[in-house]
Structure 1
Amino acid sequence: MHAPLAILLVEDDAVLADGISRMLEAQAIHVDLVADGLLADQLLQHSAASVAVIDIGLPGIDGFEVVRRLRQRGSAMPVLLLTARDAVEDRVRGLETGADDYLVKPFAGAELVARIRALARRSSPRPALLGAGRLSLDLDTRRARVGERVIELSVREWAVLEFLLQHGGRVVSKQQIIDAIAPWAEELTLNAVEVYVSRLRLKLQDAGVAIRTIRGFGYMLEAAATP
């Protein structure tokens, strides 16, 4: 089960806003809907939403300005921009203004849900230390150890291992791993995930944990079987 999420949706197209709201509510994501940039700016000053999903073309002030004001106030709320414009300069401007992600209309509902959940996960408070068996990850120093031995991990290997540890004992799909660790607009394939898992298995042979393949579903990190 996914943890309950609440988002602020800022979209002035009533038909699209209604469709997005219904789709997200069906996925157990609560939606507060606003159709005006100025009103969104006011609500974001005290909103407890997990993620803001903001259209760029809005009455009042546009989505770029809504995001600029949000960041100017020091808010770290994750922002996903929606727009019909797919020009590179619009994407760059949105990210430079402070948006975390960008989705061009028309888009698949499943992709919107996945991106919202990924942004919410990335912004959640994290413990300083993750561990299982003899394996430990220090998230502050970015050091991975098996017992007292430091193991060298690439950025990708670290991200995959951290995600698996966060979901220890639960099955996660390759797509869930991609959604959680791939930055905006960066391609990461299912085959690449398999490669990173294979490398991690070699490095964790004496760590007291195993990354188990659950055929048809994904992977699960669990205690290694004792001989």
Structure 2
Amino acid sequence: MIVVVDERELVTEGYNSLFDREGVACAGFAPSEFDEWVASAADDDLKSVSAFLIGDCREGSISPRQIRGRTGAPVIALSEHHSLENTLKLFESGVDDVVRKPVHIREILARITAIRRRAEESANFTEIGPMRIFMDGRDPEINGQSLPLPRRERRILEFLAANRGRRVTKTQVFNSIYGIFDEEVEENVVESHISKLRKKLREKLGHDPIDSKRFLGYRLVF
């Protein structure tokens, strides 16, 4: 999930629509709401956030360092003021990157992937047995052959791979794929997506690589 912070509701709603077209959950906040949310949000909610985008906010109302105190997700400033002085000031505030507007949504997603890759010092894919699971939106490969997946199933597989070795709950999977503020979709939809994903993986691998425990959640195994 991407979190966008901007004084203008029209802007946050616009980004919400654009990210949705790319199959990425997005939540928008006004600066006054965001500060309280970051301070009080549950750890599981913050783990579902892949990046924070800071737009037009009153100077000093948003602290990137406060965000980083609760989560390691990238913090990117969206700048409408194209000056060296403003760019340097934003970097000094603690953001990971400064993007000049207008900017395409796919460029923002690419920058997020690059920042996370550098932070984790790892490749943009995870290999689990014969599976190669990419973190940049490409379909996974099994024994070198691409396995086309619907975007929700692909993102669930990416989330499980990113948490390899740890069990994740149904709520964590839902929050990562749909966002923590989506009240129009029932959380049980995760079970349907995972059931379809398991069937496809089982057909290709000959076994089920998703271990599930009632009330405990899911994890990738091999």
Q: Which has the higher contact order (CA 8 A, sep 6+)?
A: 2
The answer to which structure has the higher helix fraction is 2
> Larger % of strand: which?
1
Question: Normalising by the residue count of structure 1, what TM-score does the alignment of the two structures yield?
Answer: 0.48
Per the normalisation by structure 2, the TM-score is 0.49
Q: Return the index of the structure with the highest Cα Rg.
A: 1
